[in-house]
């Protein structure tokens, strides 16, 4: 006699959990926005690095590793730090680069991409002052290409499938330490 009750209780628990999960996705869009935290974006970045990019016709290899994303308090741009190594340009060890950037939504990739990234710090050990200037140009070129082509965060298909009828993703803002994606008609 206990088995039917146990089966019923387990079934109800599973259904309630599934309903709550779906409700969370739907309720996110009810306010015509959804917000993401820095740790949510960081988890996706962690799965895609290290990355090596060829630039200057393949003469220079730039490797970005160990991305560290943060949203500084009071700022409207995120900060992204990387370990960087440049092969073919400098003989030093890995360096460091930091950038600040807004975010934009790209419908083709269904993702958030960097918008107007600005190089904040660039330190490449073993590079003299002249070489560092040339390396900075390579990194700026790489950042522009990365912003165009590489997502920082890919929106979940389930979340996008539950967009309210007649609405699409509009502005992306960084507010109060969170990334806010707004809907518009």
The per-residue pLDDT for 115 is 94
Cβ 69 vs Cβ 84: under 8 Å: no
Is residue 16 domain-resident?
A: no
Is residue 115 domain-resident?
A: yes
Is residue 150 domain-resident?
A: yes
Rounded to two decimals, the pTM is 0.75
The per-residue pLDDT for 147 is 79
Is residue 79 domain-resident?
A: yes
Is residue 67 domain-resident?
A: yes
Is residue 15 domain-resident?
A: no
Is residue 124 domain-resident?
A: yes
The per-residue pLDDT for 92 is 61
Within 8 A by CB and 6+ apart from 181, the residues are: 33, 34, 35, 36, 105, 112, 155, 169, 171, 172
Is residue 23 domain-resident?
A: no
Domain hosting 96: range is 31-184
Q: How many whole angstroms separate alpha carbon 12 and alpha carbon 97?
A: 51
CATH of residue 115's domain is: 3.15.10.40
Q: How many whole angstroms separate alpha carbon 143 and alpha carbon 83?
A: 14
Q: How many whole angstroms separate alpha carbon 50 and alpha carbon 72?
A: 24
Question: What is the residue whose two structure tokens read 């073919």?
Answer: 88
Residue by residue, pLDDT tens for the chain (185 residues) are 556 666 555 554 565 444 444 334 444 556 789 999 999 999 999 999 999 887 777 777 888 999 999 999 999 999 999 998 877 655 567 889 899 999 999 999 999 999 999 889 888 776 555 445 566 676 677 777 877 888 999 999 988 888 888 889 999 999 999 999 999 88
Domain count across the chain: 1
């Amino acid at each position: 006699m206990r088995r039917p009750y146990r089966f019923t209780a387990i079934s109800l628990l599973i259904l309630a959990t599934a309903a709550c999960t779906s409700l969370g996705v739907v309720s996110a869009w009810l306010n015509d926005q959804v917000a993401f935290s820095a740790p949510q974006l960081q988890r996706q970045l962690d799965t895609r690095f290290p990355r090596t990019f060829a630039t200057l016709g393949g003469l220079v290899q730039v490797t970005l590793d160990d991305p560290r994303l943060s949203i500084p308090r009071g700022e409207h741009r995120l900060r992204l730090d990387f370990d960087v190594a440049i092969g073919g340009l400098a003989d030093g060890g890995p360096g460091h680069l930091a950038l600040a950037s807004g975010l934009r939504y790209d419908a083709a990739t269904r993702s958030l991409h960097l918008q107007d990234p600005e190089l904040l710090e660039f330190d490449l050990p073993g590079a003299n002052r002249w070489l560092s200037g040339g390396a900075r140009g390579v990194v700026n070129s790489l950042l522009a290409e990365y912003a165009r082509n590489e997502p920082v965060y890919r929106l979940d298909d389930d979340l996008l499938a539950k967009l309210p009828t007649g609405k699409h993703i509009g502005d992306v803002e960084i507010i109060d330490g969170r990334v806010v994606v707004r809907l518009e008609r």
